[in-house]
Structure 1
Amino acid sequence: MPLGYTGSYQRVRAYFRTKRLSADPVTTPPPSPRTVADWILRHPESLSAGEQLRMKTVVAHCPELEALTRHVRTFAQILTERQGQRLPEWLDAVRQDDLPRLHTLAAGIDRDRDAVVTLPWSSGVVEGHVNRIKMLKRQMFGRAGFNLLRKRVLLA
């Protein structure tokens, strides 16, 4: 080791030794809002044990997030299990809490209540075909005319 570095090397070692032996708890930085939103929007069973623990910690510090998580997961259950009869009670529960952004969502759903969950059909298949056609159109942009696009859509 060069002579000029001996003192600084020993100071660095002493610093890390005191930090390692310190009784101060090591804290992790708080998760980003995007990470918390991801945890809220995912199915609770798909979260790892560490993510569940960090989610509980975040929710314990913010009661609004607890209410938001409860409402989001209840709404997801209503949608996935097609329980449209539970929608009015969910809307009432949302209005009881002080979550202005969720109030806006509830007002929009209330306006279109008949079409939100209660209809027995889904436009998912049509949306899939529209997405496929748009992908083909993007692939062919600037390369060929409408006739070739038409053939690709019909043959794909």
Structure 2
Amino acid sequence: MAGLRTGTVEPARGAIPNPRKITKWIMLPRGTLRPHAEDQLLRVRLACPDIARACDLARTFRDLLQHRRGHQLEWVREAERDAPAPILSFAQNLCLDLDAVTAGLTLSWSSGIVEGHVNRINTIKRAMYGRASFRLLRTRILLRA
């Protein structure tokens, strides 16, 4: 206690939340966090400027995704200026095919249904590998559709 009073000893820090919990707090929509979690996130943001910047960028990108605002992808330029390394890497990968990313964030079309069918067919194929003929595979795929 004497060291704390004189200022020669650093006060003990509270328990640091794990990264998964911090990520959950960041990705939840604003206003849905409980007051206790909101206070903890604020403390984490104040303690680490990189987490604060990552939090701001992640929430902005989440809003772009949720509201299909692909035309507002200046987010990438903002992230390239002063983002922490993982977000910087993500932004640079988005730049590799920015037209496709913009279209994906803007248009309502998706290849998700086709990808689901391809996944289903590949699962059936793997289960039958080396056990049956192509004719049986074709029949199983067509009957399952």
Q: Is the structural similarity TM-score above 0.5?
A: yes
Establish whether residue 146 from structure 1 lines up as the match of residue 134 from structure 2.
Answer: yes
Corresponding residue number in structure 2 for 1:39: 25
Normalized against structure 1, the TM-score is what?
A: 0.67
1:3 matched residue in structure 2: none
How much does 1:109 deviate? 1.2
Contact 1:140 1:149 in 2 (8 A): yes
What is the 5 A alignment of 1:1-156?
29-44=15-30, 47-88=33-74, 90-119=75-104, 120=107, 121-141=109-129, 143-156=131-144
TM-score when scaled to structure 2? 0.71
**Structure having the higher Rg:** 1
Shift of residue 37, structure 1, vs aligned partner? 2.5
TM-align CA RMSD: 2.6
Report the Cα offset of residue 68 of structure 1: 0.5
Count of paired positions: 129
**Structure 1 residues 39 and 70 mapped into 2: Cα distance closer, same or farther (>3 Å)?**
same
Q: Which residue of 2 aligns with 1:13?
A: none
Greater relative contact order structure (CA < 8 Å, 6+ sep): 2
Percentage identity across paired residues of the two chains? 37
Greater mean deviation of Cα atoms: 28-37 or 108-117: 28-37
User: Would you say the 8 A contact 1:82–1:118 is kept in 2?
Assistant: no
* CA–CA separation in structure 2 for the residues paired with 1:139 and 1:45: 46
Where structure 1 has 5 or more consecutive residues not aligned to the other structure, the ranges are 1-26
* Alignment-mate amino acid for residue 129 of structure 1: H
Q: Give the gaps of 5 or more residues in structure 2.
A: 1-12
